[in-house]
Amino acid sequence: MKRGTTALIQPWRRGLMFVLLGGMAVVVWGRAWQLQVHEQDFLVKQGVARHQRTIPVPASRGRILDRNGSPLAVSTPISSVWVEPQKLREQPVSVGQLANALSLSEQRIQDSLDAASDSSEFLYLARHVNPRVADQVAALKIKGVHLQREFRRYYPAGEVASHVLGATNVDDRGIEGMEKLWDELLAGSNGARRVMRDLKGRAFSEVEYIERERPGGELILSLDRRIQYLAFRELKRAVEAHGALSGSVVVMRAQTGEVLALANQPAFNPNAPAQRGDGSRRNRAVTDPLEPGSTIKPFTIAAALQLGVIDAADEIETAPGTFGVGRLQVRDFRDYGTLSLEGVLKKSSNVGVTKVSLEADPAQMWEVLNDFGFGRDTGSLFPGENFGVLRHGTDWRRIEQATIAYGYGLSATPLQLARAYAALGNDGVLPEVSFVRKAEDEAGGVRVLEKDVARSVRRMLESVVEPGGTGERARVAGYRVAGKTGTSRKPAPGGYRDDQYYAFFAGMAPASQPELVIVVMIDEPSGQQYYGGEVAAPAFASIMAGSLRVLGVPMDAIELPEQVAGDAGVESAL
């Protein structure tokens, strides 16, 4: 009985087994078909996401060179540390190791991880770490911690050319100076590549380049690194020697308007962490307009000659050393009596230049000063450039026409002043200022003064550095120098301070055919010496002498003048 029953049941069980196995096979086949056909794209993407990563390939920022090809700014490769937040959260012990290697607090890293979203796969922990730190991080072999190659800007000249070059931020984008102005050219464009990763997330094989990086272009500036070093050194020496608050110097080619050197004190080192709040990053020569004092007098004389209201042979009566204009008493350092126009500049007579100015129509006088670039941009395109202030002549009162004649009531930057003097040195042609090297035949410019008038004023300015002039200490052995001292009181609420000054010297050489124009400004020199002829003129002489030697400019003086010793120029008028 049992044996028969078993025989009857076995075929049923066998059939059931076949049905179950067949059903399972159908299910497996169906699932495989679903995965291979319907969900293939999704699964491929998931596999790629888990084992492939697209990583950026940073582009090297273009170099900045001086006019002779010497590097002023270059980009060097450096590593940054980034993490996959979720993976690092799963390894709390590793946070302490990472914090120690990066010299960060564990709490800071933990706060960064907490702030990252759960879906976030990328978080910077430290940018631009030095190679030693990068090696320490790599040696930890922490899952989800990676090094990324980037570039950091390096400036071989340090603080010497910092105000012209500016700086970049942590993302290697220009934020100041030439770095900012020419950022599009210098930055280039980043690339991207796809890599395979192992189970620990480490890249072990490159799949393909999605896009090649494009390095930034090179920028050749008008600066001459040799002259830039010289100008920086002599300006710093003058500021320190006179206990001054700050200072600026501009060296410009008279024919082209190219800036060969520009420096300020205090300066900053763009290779060091950013200095904030102390004013050292401000390019004072471009952004800070000042009342230029007596350095404006040559343009007052030039305007009067151009307008025909005076003649080069005219004489001006300045006795008794004062002159009333309404409620204003214009004063000279002493009673100079009768002066020629050359004498007015040589002695820096406020009375003389005021009388000359008042002979002209104010609107016409304004037009000539405006043509010289006062109150207008220089064409340099420098970020943050200030255009200064020169009110229209139709708004001038008689007192204002008088004060503008000797440098009060208008403002200009040292860069604007250098450009205006370049027009006198360039036979009346005002050049466009450039911080980028121009071609040899790319002089350009606009005529703002008749050639004969420009040369006449230039000859007058030579007398300023001759014995008895206010700028004797600006003399350069072997060269004829033409220039002007200036000393202006600093403004204060309701008037001007009696014990704080700007000291200027602006000039050119060789005067027979000027090659260079230099403007030196010293802000608030302390002590007994504060006139432009005492403070700024010696710095001008040192910078001019060195620059002319560097450029190999032939001498034009018939006799080598004696080197001036001791104090001179005490009659630099306000």
Specify the residue for token string 């004092």: 293
The structure tokens listed for 488 are 């202006």
Whether residue 413 contacts residue 287, with contact meaning beta carbons closer than 8 Å, is answered with yes
What count of other Cβ atoms lies within 10 Å of the Cβ of residue 62? Answer: 19
The strand pair at 64-65 and 246-253 is best described as unpaired
Calculate the CA 522 to chain-centre distance. 20
The whole-angstrom separation of Cα 249 and Cα 247 is 7
Whether residue 235 contacts residue 263, with contact meaning beta carbons closer than 8 Å, is answered with yes
Q: What are phi and psi of 468, to 5 degrees?
A: 95, -10
The whole-angstrom separation of Cα 22 and Cα 58 is 57
Specify the residue for token string 């997330």: 201
The whole-angstrom separation of Cα 231 and Cα 235 is 6
Whether residue 215 contacts residue 188, with contact meaning beta carbons closer than 8 Å, is answered with yes
Calculate the CA 240 to chain-centre distance. 23
Whether residue 391 contacts residue 356, with contact meaning beta carbons closer than 8 Å, is answered with no
Active site (annotated) includes residue 294: yes
Beta strands in 279-396 (DSSP E): 315-317, 322-325, 328-331, 338-340
Nearest to 257 by CA among 382, 408, 405, 345: 382
Selecting among 246, 294, 349, 434, the annotated active-site residue is 294
The whole-angstrom separation of Cα 65 and Cα 412 is 29
Distances (CA, A) of 319 to 263, 337, 338, 514, 523: 41, 5, 7, 35, 32
Distances (CA, A) of 430 to 257, 371, 514, 527: 8, 8, 14, 37
Cβ neighbours of residue 172 closer than 8 Å, sequence gap 6 or more: 58, 61, 75, 150, 151, 152, 153, 187
The whole-angstrom separation of Cα 494 and Cα 138 is 64
| Residue 276, helix vs strand vs coil | coil
Active-site positions? 294
